[in-house]
């Protein structure tokens, strides 16, 4: 019984140490890169509540989108996909403790209905990177939020 108690106490301490490292020990760069991955997975899954939660309340982009309209338009554009995979490559990163800018090359793969093939072809033919501007709004690693997304070749009607 005593050996089991010691084992359980040891496992609890290891778990707490791991959680502490995960929350406070990772660099801002590692945190924002993890959040970027989480964001793209939410887009792939078309989990619009999760996507929305990762945008700042004051999100604004050069296309006139605020947080609500950006998510609404993305859901319409990507809603026809049955299967969607977003592949990305970070080509530039600048990270300071509470701010980050990531430039990514993005490619899409998938199957869908309606304009899905047109959307995928347009994105895959872009030669310039996507800009993701991040701001950390609190003490936790998951407090990184997107302030703006921009792509110079993206044209909005």
Confidence of residue 23 (pLDDT cuts 50, 70, 90): low
Q: What pLDDT score does 119 carry?
A: 95
Using the structure block, give the residue that is written with the tokens 């338009």.
73
Rg (CA), the chain: 19
CATH no. for 27-151:
3.10.450.50
Q: What is the DSSP letter of 131?
A: E
Using the structure block, give the residue that is written with the tokens 């089991």.
4
Structural domain boundaries in the chain: 27-151
The share of the chain scoring above pLDDT 70, in percent, equals 89
Q: What pLDDT score does 1 carry?
A: 80
User: Which of left, alpha, beta for 19 (phi over 0: left; psi -120 to 50: alpha)?
Assistant: alpha
Secondary structure element (H or E) that encloses residue 101, with its range: strand 99-112
* pTM of this structure: 0.84
Kindly report the backbone phi and psi dihedral angles of residue 61, in degrees, each rounded to the nearest multiple of 5, phi listed first. Answer: -125, 175
């Amino acid at each position: 019984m005593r050996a089991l108690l010691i084992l359980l106490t040891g496992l609890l301490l290891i778990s707490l140490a791991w959680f502490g490292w995960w929350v406070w020990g990772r660099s801002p760069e590692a945190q924002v890169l993890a959040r970027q991955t989480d964001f793209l997975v939410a887009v792939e899954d078309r989990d619009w509540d999760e996507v929305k939660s990762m945008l700042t309340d004051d999100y604004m982009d050069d296309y006139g989108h605020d947080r609500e309209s950006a998510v609404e338009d993305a859901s319409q554009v990507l809603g026809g996909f049955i299967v969607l995979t977003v592949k990305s490559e970070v080509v530039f990163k600048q990270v300071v403790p509470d701010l980050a800018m990531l430039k990514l090359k993005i490619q899409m793969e998938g199957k869908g209905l309606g304009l899905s093939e047109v959307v995928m072809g347009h994105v895959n033919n872009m030669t310039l990177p996507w800009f993701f501007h991040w701001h950390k709004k609190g003490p936790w690693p998951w407090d990184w939020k997107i302030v703006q997304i921009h792509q110079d070749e993206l044209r909005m009607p």
